[in-house]
Amino acid sequence: DYDVDVIDSQSASKLVPAAAEGGLHQIETASGAVLKARSIIIATGAKWRNMNVPGEDQYRTKGVTYCPHCDGPLFKGKRVAVIGGGNSGVEAAIDLAGIVEHVTLLEFAPEMKADQVLQDKVRSLKNVDIILNAQTTEVKGDGSKVVGLEYRDRVSGDIHSVALAGIFVQIGLLPNTHWLEGALERNRMGEIIIDAKCETSVKGVFAAGDCTTVPYKQIIIATGEGAKASLSAFDYLIRTKIA
């Protein structure tokens, strides 16, 4: 057995970096508890941004999904929609087009925001339809699975229905890092900026997984990053003098 203390039902609310390298960093929790350590690994993950429309919660995992790489094969030969015209949405549509019968890509804005090379690729695919100025308003189901969706044309105001079996929501990923505001460097999306050894802008503080700038948010990648962060933290502790 390893001498590890597991504290359940607690959430971190603030990081106070050590005053000097080798000193004690401080984590404050929402309950008011304070934890101190010379080295910290942050692995708080991220969550998909939701559409927040009727039916989304009811049919999550029953046709509403957020990972085309994971769930795409489940819809082989079926009709699906991708919500979002950014890089992730267009990449998902391109990926799914080789698996499913047909893809409907819905983008809220008047134009897609993906890189031009991706836009050119998706527009060349014969089994992909692109609908702009489309605001998804409802996920439709039969009680057990998704059967379609409704969207509003933001120009005309008309409501349209699309019959399909799956909806891939690709409108952004939210890293769980809001509590780190001002404590260390993050990018414009809130991801913790790390180097090749998973170290953050604060010496002795490491981060791993979906909350960081590492690309491709997959479990197997996050697991490997966690191992790397652990080794880096160990290396830091044995090489750094106690302040």
Q: Which residues are catalytic?
A: 67, 70-71
For 232, residues 6+ apart whose C-beta sits below 8 A from its C-beta are 197, 198, 199, 206
Strands (E), the chain: 12-16, 25-29, 34-37, 40-42, 46-48, 64-65, 79-83, 102-106, 128-131, 134-141, 146-153, 159-163, 166-169, 173-175, 205-207
Residue 16 corresponds to which tokens in the numbers above?
């106070």
Strand 159-163 and strand 12-16: pairing?
unpaired
Residue 19 CA, distance from chain mean position: 32
Q: Which of 16, 52, 35, 36 is nearest to 242 (CA)?
A: 36
Residue 236 sits at φ, ψ, to 5 deg, of: -60, -45
